[in-house]
Amino acid sequence: MKSSIGKKFFMSVTGLFLITFIFVHLSLNLLLIVDDSGDLFNMAAHFMATNPAIKIMEPVLALGFLVHIIWSFVITLENKKARPISYNSGDKVLSPIAPSKNMLILGGMVLVFLVMHIANFWWKFKISHVGLSEVHVMQGGVSVEMENAYALVAGFFKASPLYCIIYMVGAALLGLHISHGFWSALQTIGWNNQIWRKRLEVVARILAWVIAVGFAIIPLYFMIKF
């Protein structure tokens, strides 16, 4: 993994893996606004917390995030040493913001958002359990006791308009980061001809909007309704 190409390839693979996780995470989070009773979200959160396969994937996911972040810094520093004057990458995705020229900055902002998200939710779900109550949900005609994840997440959004705004900004930054990262990752692993590049840029735009709007609509829902 000493070569620059090897690092970029590995970062591309981890990036695509993380995008897949983000889509799964978004799908589950959208249950927050589908069912105001919280049952659907609680069942999904309970499944994620108790499923053995998910427990195995959690450290893999954490390692993927860590490697992706470290490699991005290493590659950026190597590129700056090799070419002190930045070059025109030709990225037109979401122009004029040009995420390709600001991937490290965008990634850093997304990292800050991720840390806040972990501190407010993941840490409480997995470690401290502060603010988590128990609830009974009917599953297949049987009452199952589980943590009331919906009450914690929804309550946080309802009580903190500031965090809702920060969450929406984080969603937009994540969309921008993925808008370039998605097609760039596929290009790195071999889909690098001009025909596929144009198609992937279109897919990247759609992907960026789906992720940004999908995550942003959740806090917006709670701000407007409650």
DSSP per residue, 95-163: TTS-GGGSHHHHHHHHHHHHHHHIIIIIHIIIII-TT--EEEEEETTEEEEEE-HHHHHHHHHHH-HHH
pLDDT (0 to 100) of residue 168: 93
Which tokens hold the place of 82?
């090799």
Average pLDDT score over the chain: 82
> Are 9 and 17 within 8 A, CB to CB?
no
Instruction: Please check whether residue 162 is in contact with residue 179, taking contact to mean a CB–CB distance below 8 angstroms.
Output: no
Predicted confidence band of residue 137 (pLDDT cuts 50, 70, 90): very high
Higher pLDDT, 90 or 186: 186
The rounded distance, in Å, linking the Cα atoms of 111 and 198 is 29
pLDDT at 4: 63
Lowest mean pLDDT among 51-60, 62-71, 133-142, 188-197: 188-197
pTM: 0.81
- Give residue 49's pLDDT: 86
Task: Convert the pLDDT of each residue in 71-128 to its tens digit.
Answer: 777 777 776 676 655 444 444 444 444 555 566 677 777 888 888 888 888 888 888 8
pLDDT, mean of residues 137-164? 90
Can you tell me the mean pLDDT for 178-189?
82
Compute φ and ψ for 137, nearest 5 degrees.
-125, 135
Give the pLDDT score at 96. 41
Q: Who contacts 46 (Cβ-Cβ below 8 Å, separation ≥6)?
A: 137, 144, 146, 147, 149
The upper half-sphere exposure of residue 49, i.e. CA atoms within 13 Å in the direction of its Cβ, equals 17
